[in-house]
């Protein structure tokens, strides 16, 4: 009977450190997690023992004993969408120095998938959860409300947060973009939308509101598809819209990929931008300012959303929940050549 190294790969445990440092195991545990509760002397002895043995705490044992994993669960609808990629980067960057790991999953824009993943995440007792959007299913919402950890909904804001929120109003974004096209002198402004997830729907709603307010709305101006967005699709949608409505003089694109597809198609078909057709995108990806012509877009603060989401969750974990449970990071209209009809 040799209980030593029976299963573990022989890696040092907290008991080994304790023995070497001549203290109790629990003191080592404390020295690592709450150094201020351990005297300077012991802290140094322990630190030295840790280094000598190359001790690294086992996160699984830790999670089991404390009934709390040092994990941020993050649910996003897409991994390849540049917008979410930046949000995710913001989250990872904010979390990289702390003890927290990230558990990322892709819902593929499916509420059911989100439920399933939430269930999975919850089984780990995460330290916090970050979910995309505000349109969770009833089941998901219930799971999140009873989750016993901070929850941050990101990308959008709305009136009824599960816990906390950081994002901006897509409806307002759509409205501002559309109004900008109207002010630029466009009258028959098309809406091109792909995927039509809830955020796209709200941008469309903002477009409709602006168009109706100006007395310019016509349902034939709207061209959408449930197909995932891409530059190629932008070109196709634009062709469809033009076939339906040859007199278009502006398009508000659901996102920048579509706008780029429009720009390319205009080159190909020798349509003058902005003179014949003005173009406005959404998100303001890096390339929009370099495009020819440069493309007007709504700048959104994706990276910052990721950072703030982590910041808010962290504050809640530390017990200092921000008084502002809803953070509106806004957006900015970036005016560029594609809507500048003056020259």
Partner DNA sequence: TGCAATGATGGTAGCGCTACCAAAATCCTC
Partner DNA sequence: GAGGATTTTGGTAGCGCTACCATCATTGCA
Q: Which of 80, 133, 126, 129 lies closest to 111 in space, CA to CA? A: 133
Distance CA 143, CA 85 (A): 25
Question: Residue 182: CB partners within 8 Å, gap ≥ 6?
Answer: 189, 210, 211, 214, 216
CA angle 242/244/248 to nearest 5° reads 45
For residue 287, give the DSSP letter: G
Beta-sheet pairing, 151-156 with 101-106: unpaired
Cβ 315 to DNA shortest distance, Å: 20
Q: Binding DNA by CB under 7 A: which of 19, 20, 23, 222?
A: 23
Tokens linked to 315: 């504050």
- Among the listed ranges 120-128, 152-160, 161-169, 271-279, the one in contact with a second copy (CB under 8 A) is 120-128
Question: Residue 107: CB partners within 8 Å, gap ≥ 6?
Answer: 75, 76, 77, 113, 114, 117, 132
Tokens linked to 231: 């530059």
Footprint of DNA on 63-82 (CB under 7 A): 64-67
Of a second copy, DNA, none, which one sits near residue 38, judging by CB under 5 to 8 A according to partner kind?
Answer: DNA
Tokens linked to 230: 């891409």
The answer to the question of residue 44 lying near DNA (CB under 7 A) is: no
Q: Identify which of residues 26 and 287 has a Cβ nearer to DNA in the complex.
A: 26
The answer to the question of residue 85 lying near a second copy (CB under 8 A) is: yes
Distance CA 238, CA 60 (A): 52
Instruction: Please work out the total of residues on this chain that contact a second copy, with binding judged by CB under 8 A.
Output: 54
Q: Which helix (H) or strand (E) holds 201?
A: helix 198-213
Q: Identify which of residues 79 and 213 has a Cβ nearer to a second copy in the complex.
A: 79
Distances (CA, A) of 317 to 123, 151, 229, 304, 312: 19, 10, 37, 20, 9
Footprint of DNA on 279-298 (CB under 7 A): none
Of DNA, a second copy, none, which one sits near residue 319, judging by CB under 5 to 8 A according to partner kind?
Answer: none
Q: Identify which of residues 57 and 161 has a Cβ nearer to a second copy in the complex.
A: 57
Distance CA 155, CA 337 (A): 28
Tokens linked to 12: 């040092």
Of a second copy, DNA, none, which one sits near residue 220, judging by CB under 5 to 8 A according to partner kind?
Answer: none
Footprint of a second copy on 6-45 (CB under 8 A): 7-9
Cβ 22 to a second copy shortest distance, Å: 24
- Among the listed ranges 29-37, 217-225, 259-267, 308-316, the one in contact with a second copy (CB under 8 A) is 259-267
Beta-sheet pairing, 326-328 with 164-168: parallel
Q: Give the position of tokens 């901070």.
A: 150
Q: Identify which of residues 56 and 243 has a Cβ nearer to a second copy in the complex.
A: 56
Q: Binding a second copy by CB under 8 A: which of 102, 196, 317, 333?
A: 102
Cβ 323 to a second copy shortest distance, Å: 27
CA angle 318/320/322 to nearest 5° reads 130
Q: Binding a second copy by CB under 8 A: which of 41, 96, 320, 343?
A: 96
The answer to the question of residue 328 lying near DNA (CB under 7 A) is: no
Of DNA, a second copy, none, which one sits near residue 112, judging by CB under 5 to 8 A according to partner kind?
Answer: none
Residues lying near DNA in the complex (CB under 7 A) are found at: 3, 6-8, 11, 13-15, 22-27, 29-30, 32-33, 37-39, 41-42, 55, 57-58, 61-62, 64-67
Contact residues for a second copy, defined by CB under 8 A: 7-9, 56-61, 63-64, 67, 69, 79-80, 82, 85-86, 88-89, 92-93, 96, 101-106, 119-120, 122-125, 148, 230-232, 234-235, 257, 260-261, 264-265, 267-268, 286-287, 289-292
């Amino acid at each position: 009977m040799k209980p030593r190294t029976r299963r573990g790969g022989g890696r040092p445990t907290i008991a080994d450190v304790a023995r070497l440092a001549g203290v109790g195991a629990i003191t080592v545990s404390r020295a690592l997690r709450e150094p201020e509760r351990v005297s300077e002397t012991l802290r140094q002895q322990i630190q030295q023992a840790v280094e000598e043995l190359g001790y690294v705490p086992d996160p699984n044992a830790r999670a089991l004993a404390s009934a709390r994993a040092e994990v941020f669960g993050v649910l996003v609808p897409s991994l390849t969408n540049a917008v979410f990629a930046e949000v995710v980067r913001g989250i990872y960057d904010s979390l990289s120095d702390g003890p927290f790991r990230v558990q990322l999953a892709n819902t593929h824009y499916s509420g059911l998938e989100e439920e399933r993943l939430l269930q999975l995440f919850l089984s780990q007792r995460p330290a916090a959860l970050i979910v995309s959007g505000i349109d969770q299913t009833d089941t998901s919402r219930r799971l999140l409300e009873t989750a016993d950890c901070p929850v941050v909904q990101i990308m959008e804001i709305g009136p009824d947060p599960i816990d906390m929120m950081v994002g901006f109003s897509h409806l307002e974004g759509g409205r501002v973009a559309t109004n900008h096209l109207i002010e630029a002198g466009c009258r028959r402004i098309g809406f091109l939308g792909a995927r039509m997830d809830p955020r796209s729907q709200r941008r469309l709603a903002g477009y409709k509101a602006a168009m109706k307010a100006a007395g310019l709305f016509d349902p034939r101006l709207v061209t959408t598809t449930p197909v995932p967005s891409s530059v190629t699709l932008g070109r196709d949608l634009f062709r469809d819209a033009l076939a339906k409505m040859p007199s278009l003089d502006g398009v508000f694109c659901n996102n920048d990929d579509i706008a780029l597809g429009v720009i390319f198609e205009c080159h190909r078909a020798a349509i003058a931008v902005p003179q014949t057709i003005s173009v406005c995108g959404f998100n303001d990806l890096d390339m929009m300012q370099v495009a020819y012509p440069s493309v007007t877009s709504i700048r959104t603060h994706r990276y910052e959303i990721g950072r703030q989401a982590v910041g808010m969750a962290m504050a809640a974990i530390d017990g200092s929940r921000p008084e502002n449970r809803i953070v509106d990071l806004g957006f900015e209209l970036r005016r560029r050549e594609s809507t500048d009809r003056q020259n």
